[in-house]
Structure 1
């Protein structure tokens, strides 16, 4: 992969799309299913999709690890969604840890909610605790080159 191209996983069909970095701002569509690659809203991950989305996306990917019983997680959910809408070139995703324990296990999540930012399959930052949309946006912006 050259620096001018990147891989983006389709949140709809899980196809890997190779595309020019310059086209990330142009609402890119999946070459397989034709749906938008960068949706501006969080993608729901499963035990089967979490590793592919984290490992194969070259764009900044922020995963919210949460649980259905966690009140701070539930309070942060709309804030995370708002932050995603403000940063459409970033992949935002959610993994429900009480439903997909095996999918969350490799990421060593010790408290909830925890957001982990990945780039090229590598963890670049981690933030635990509920944040507002503004705080999430500021944190994510601080991670961008």
Structure 2
């Protein structure tokens, strides 16, 4: 699946859907972002059931501020409308695959219960 460009207009609609959404916060001028992009794209091709979205922080300053993104790239994982992971830094492919495995394995009832307490 190709990556989806996320903007202030479509972010909530995409992120609040059922399933997993991985978000790459990036910028054109960012060297680590450019190195991470092919890893993110490759993973998008392997996981058809996951939405892979990209937020250009220069074009979408509102989203950058909303989520407190201070360092890019930042990888965010959202499952069933809940942010379950957010970490700055370019990660190698095995780490990204591990994040995906862990997000898939979450007991979302437990995650919701913990978030409410």
Please state which band the TM-score falls in when normalised by the shorter chain. Answer: 0.7 to 0.9
SS in 1 for 2:29: coil
- Distance, in Å, in 1 between the alignment partners of 2:96 and 2:3 is 13
2:22 aligned to 51, 62, 84, which one? 62
Give the aligned partner of residue 128 of structure 1: 88
Q: How many residues are matched?
A: 105
Task: Indicate if the aligned counterparts of 2:72 and 2:89 stay in contact, CA closer than 8 A.
Answer: yes
Aligned partner of 1:50 among 8, 11, 14: 11
- Which residue does 1:7 correspond to in 2? none
Cα displacement (A) at 1:118: 0.7
Which of structures 1 and 2 has the bigger CA Rg? Answer: 1
Q: Please list the CA deviations of residues 6-61 of structure 1 after superposition, one character each: whole Å capped at 9, or x if unmatched.
A: xxxxxxxxxxxxxxxxxxxxxxxxxxxxxxxxxx2211112211122112x11111
* Higher relative contact order (Cα pairs below 8 Å, separated by 6+ residues): 2
CA distance in 2, matches of 1:117, 1:70: 21
Match of 1:82 among 21, 42, 50: 42
Q: Which moved more, 1:57-66 or 1:120-129?
A: 120-129
- Structure 2 length as normaliser, TM-score? 0.82
The structure richer in helix per residue is 2
Q: Name structure 1 gaps, 5 residues minimum.
A: 1-39
TM-score by length of 1: 0.67
Structure 1 CA distance for aligned equivalents of residues 101 and 63 of structure 2: 27
What residue ranges of structure 2 are gaps of 5+ in the alignment? 106-117
- Is the partner of 2:48 in helix, strand or coil? coil
Tell me the distance in 2 between the aligned counterparts of 1:52 and 1:109: 20
What is the deviation of 1:101?
Answer: 0.5
